[in-house]
């Protein structure tokens, strides 16, 4: 029984003292052992380590790439045209002791690094124009973007200057700036609205030009078509009049020839045609009894006598 009690006490002591005496270092971390705020040991390799229990404390620092997002800033370019630029940077800790002494924590590091990079970005942006910042030339007629290397060169200059700044004698944060990138570079909302309005006006002007040109072409085509139509109709009327005249002349010749062959029969046929026309109509026809029209009704032979005899 006494042995069990002693074993229990030993296990209890190990449970209390063990976590205070030992700690582990992951491969993605640096471990700093401090005593009353003073660094006693820096561990840069993974494994199990020991420390003085209840006196020493362990601070872990991330050895991976860390990202700092700067708040979007409105920056003037070389021509004093403002752009809203949203950028970020990535850094790595190379000296955990200096990092801990100068910055203390990842939050402080993000604030200091963000300020330095933002300041240098503002300085570099002010040296070039808007097209170079955007990194491309846009053809306003076709909308095709021709890429440029100026944006990449701008960000590389900012990265190099930022890296020198954090490694300078004044700062010496124990980190290195690995990358600086720009997520977007847009016009401020008020300026963008003015630009959209101007672009819309230019497009309206261009559209009106196209419509005017189209109306002009339409009128020219319609004028040519009307002229050709008038010419075709005039030629058709000319040919129809000629054909009609020739037909009427031929008809007169035929009638004249028929009349010469048998004038009496011709007169009889014409009378029958007249009878047919006025008998089929509802009109009332008043004629003299001596009219030639009644000749064949009174005397079918139509010879010798005249109406009324």
Tokens 């010469």 label which residue? 260
Q: What are phi and psi of 168, to 5 degrees?
A: -65, 165
- pLDDT confidence of residue 237: 92
* Full DSSP string of 267-282: HHHHHHHHHHHHHHSS
pLDDT in tens, 72-125: 888 888 888 888 899 999 999 999 999 999 998 899 999 999 999 999 999 999
Contacts of 141 (CB under 8 A, 6+ apart): none
pLDDT in tens, 172-184: 999 999 999 998 8
pLDDT in tens, 36-82: 888 888 898 888 888 888 788 888 999 999 999 999 888 888 888 88
* Judgement on whether residues 163 and 217 belong to the same structural domain of the protein: no
How many angstroms separate the CA atoms of 110 and 66, rounded?
9
How many angstroms separate the CA atoms of 239 and 168, rounded?
103
* Judgement on whether residues 179 and 112 belong to the same structural domain of the protein: yes
Which residues sit opposite 48 in a β-bridge?
A: 24
* Judgement on whether residues 133 and 169 belong to the same structural domain of the protein: yes
Verdict on whether the full-model pTM lies above 0.85: no
Identify the DSSP state of 157: H
Contacts of 24 (CB under 8 A, 6+ apart): 46, 47, 48, 49
* Judgement on whether residues 170 and 83 belong to the same structural domain of the protein: yes
- pLDDT confidence of residue 307: 42
* Judgement on whether residues 162 and 139 belong to the same structural domain of the protein: yes
Residue 267 has pLDDT above 80, yes or no: no
- Domain housing 163: 66-186
* Judgement on whether residues 54 and 71 belong to the same structural domain of the protein: no
* Judgement on whether residues 145 and 98 belong to the same structural domain of the protein: yes
Q: Count other C-beta atoms under 10 Å from residue 113's C-beta.
A: 24
Report which of residues 282 and 208 the model is more confident about: 208
Report which of residues 210 and 17 the model is more confident about: 210
How many angstroms separate the CA atoms of 230 and 238, rounded?
12
* Judgement on whether residues 288 and 249 belong to the same structural domain of the protein: no
Q: What are phi and psi of 126, to 5 degrees?
A: -70, -10
Residue 267 inside a domain? The answer is no
């Amino acid at each position: 029984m006494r042995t069990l009690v002693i074993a229990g006490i030993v296990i209890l002591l190990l449970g209390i003292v063990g976590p205070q005496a030992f700690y582990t270092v992951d491969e993605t971390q640096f471990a700093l052992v401090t005593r009353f705020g003073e660094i006693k040991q820096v561990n840069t390799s993974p494994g199990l380590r020991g420390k003085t229990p209840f006196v020493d404390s362990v601070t872990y620092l991330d050895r991976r790439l860390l990202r700092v997002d700067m708040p979007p800033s409105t920056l003037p370019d070389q021509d004093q045209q403002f752009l809203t630029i949203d950028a970020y940077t990535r850094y790595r800790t190379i000296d955990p002791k200096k990092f801990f002494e100068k910055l203390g924590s990842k939050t402080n590091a993000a604030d200091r690094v963000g300020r330095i990079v933002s300041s240098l970005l503002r300085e570099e942006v002010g040296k070039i124009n808007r097209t170079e910042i955007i990194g491309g030339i846009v053809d306003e007629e076709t909308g095709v973007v021709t890429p440029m290397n100026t944006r990449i060169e701008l960000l590389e200059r900012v990265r190099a200057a930022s890296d020198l700044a954090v490694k300078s004698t004044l700062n010496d944060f124990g980190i290195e700036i690995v990358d600086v990138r720009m997520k977007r570079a847009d016009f401020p909302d008020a300026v963008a609205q003015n630009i959209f309005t101007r672009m819309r006006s230019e497009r309206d002007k261009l559209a009106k030009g196209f419509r005017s040109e189209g109306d002009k072409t339409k009128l020219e085509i319609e004028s040519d078509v009307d002229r050709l139509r008038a010419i075709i109709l005039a030629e058709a009327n000319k040919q129809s009049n000629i054909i009609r005249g020739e037909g009427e002349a031929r008809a007169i010749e035929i009638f004249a020839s028929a009349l010469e062959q048998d004038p009496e029969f011709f007169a009889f046929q014409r009378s029958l045609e007249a009878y047919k026309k006025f008998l089929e109509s509802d009109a009332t026809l008043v004629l003299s009894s001596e009219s030639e029209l009644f000749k064949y009704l009174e005397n079918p032979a139509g010879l010798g006598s005249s109406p009324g005899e």
